[in-house]
Amino acid sequence: MYRALAVLTVVAYLTLPLEAASAEQLVPTLLTGLAYSALAILGFRFVEGRSLGWAVAYVGVQLALGFAVFSLSDAAVGAVLLLVVLVSQSVLLLPLPIAACVAAVVPLVHLGMRWPHVLGQGLATLAVTTFTVVVTELLVRERKARAELAAAHERLRGYAAQAEQLATTQERNRLARDIHDGVGHHLTVVQMMLEAARAVVRTADPERLDTMLAAAQDQSGQALAEVRRSVAALHEHRPALADALGTLAAEATEAGVPTAVEIRGQARPLRGEVDESLFRAAQEGLTNVRKHAAATRTAVVLDYRDGERVRLEIRDDGRGVPERRGDGFGLAGLRERMAIVGGRMSLESAEGAGATTLVVEVPG
């Protein structure tokens, strides 16, 4: 915009000598026009971005010089072009209503002419200045729109980076939960079975020892599968929830804690993440029973009787949870997993009372 106005100013100035009525008018016309052009090119850049007072003073001086050039050049077209440049600059420097007033004042330059020419030339000049105001305002708005679009693009890039970072953090947390809930569970079972196998080594019961070692081998294989699944961030195909809970109960029983599964109400399909959460809750609960409870029996209850929620309970007759014991990583991860699917988890235990109940409720 600045370069276009500067070029138009130079072109308008160069046309002034071509329309001079006499040699006496030429010198003052060129000098006044030079002052106007210098201010239009250099003064405009100086005033741009400063206070409104500077802008008003600049437009006032240029308006006076423009009228003088017009009068000295005997209404030359170049003088009118210089005033058109001023109208465009007014839109860039002043509020739009004030710039419109400048555009309305410029046609008054023709008042010194004879009446028929005053009306015709004045209306023509008014049309030109009005068009100049409209075009310049559209260009200003386009420039602002592009600047706002660029700023919005930068903000979107920032938001995208934040979203990517958040997604990365969430994925890390999910993998951490899956590794703990899956691999941790299987390795705990392996540890329990190996401890049991060491206990029967001295009994010289090869068949029982072989059974335990085979079960431990099977659990280690499942742990390896869990590692691969978590690293690949893929959900493994899992059987129906009741069957999966039955498998967990059998593993717990094989590890030395008799575990029964009870299904209440009519089983119904659940969302994948809800099904996964219930399975992981049962897995974590049974793992904690084997590791900490010293229980003689455990019950897993899956209750569908509430039409809007599914309730899972893990009950044991162990030694209870210490009163001041906080959630470990497993329970903390389980609470987080439940919160993600809109569920809740609670742990009911009385230290020394010999019973603990892990309760999970999720929408379903």
Owning domain of residue 21: 2-112
- Asked, for residue 213, whether it belongs to a domain, the answer is no
- Asked, for residue 164, whether it belongs to a domain, the answer is no
- Last residue in a domain, options 54, 88, 112: 112
- Asked, for residue 136, whether it belongs to a domain, the answer is no
- Asked, for residue 127, whether it belongs to a domain, the answer is no
> What's the pLDDT score for residue 234?
46
> What's the pLDDT score for residue 188?
76
- Asked, for residue 126, whether it belongs to a domain, the answer is no
Residues 13-47: b if buried by 16+ CB within 10 A, e if exposed: bebbeebbeeeebbeebbebbebbbebbbebbeeb
- Asked, for residue 207, whether it belongs to a domain, the answer is no
Predicted confidence (pLDDT) per residue in 44-73, tens digit? 888 888 889 998 998 899 888 888 888 888
CA distance 300 to 94: 78
> What's the pLDDT score for residue 310?
94
Predicted confidence (pLDDT) per residue in 255-291, tens digit? 888 999 999 999 888 887 888 889 888 988 888 888 7
- Last residue in a domain, options 89, 112, 135: 112
Instruction: Report angle CA 342, 344, 347 to the nearest 5 degrees.
Output: 165
Domain total for the chain? 2
Residue 154 pLDDT greater than 70, yes or no = yes
- Asked, for residue 168, whether it belongs to a domain, the answer is no
Residue 20 pLDDT greater than 70, yes or no = no
- Last residue in a domain, options 53, 87, 112: 112
Model-wide pTM > 0.75: no
Helix axis angle, 23-38 to 77-93, nearest 10°:
20
What CATH number does the domain containing 323 carry? 3.30.565.10
- Asked, for residue 134, whether it belongs to a domain, the answer is no
pLDDT higher at 240 or 176: 240
Can you tell me the mean pLDDT for 234-252? Answer: 78
Can you tell me the mean pLDDT for 296-312? Answer: 92
Residue 302 pLDDT greater than 90, yes or no = yes
List the one residue out of 364, 229, 323, 53 whose CA is nearest residue 347: 323
> What's the pLDDT score for residue 233?
43
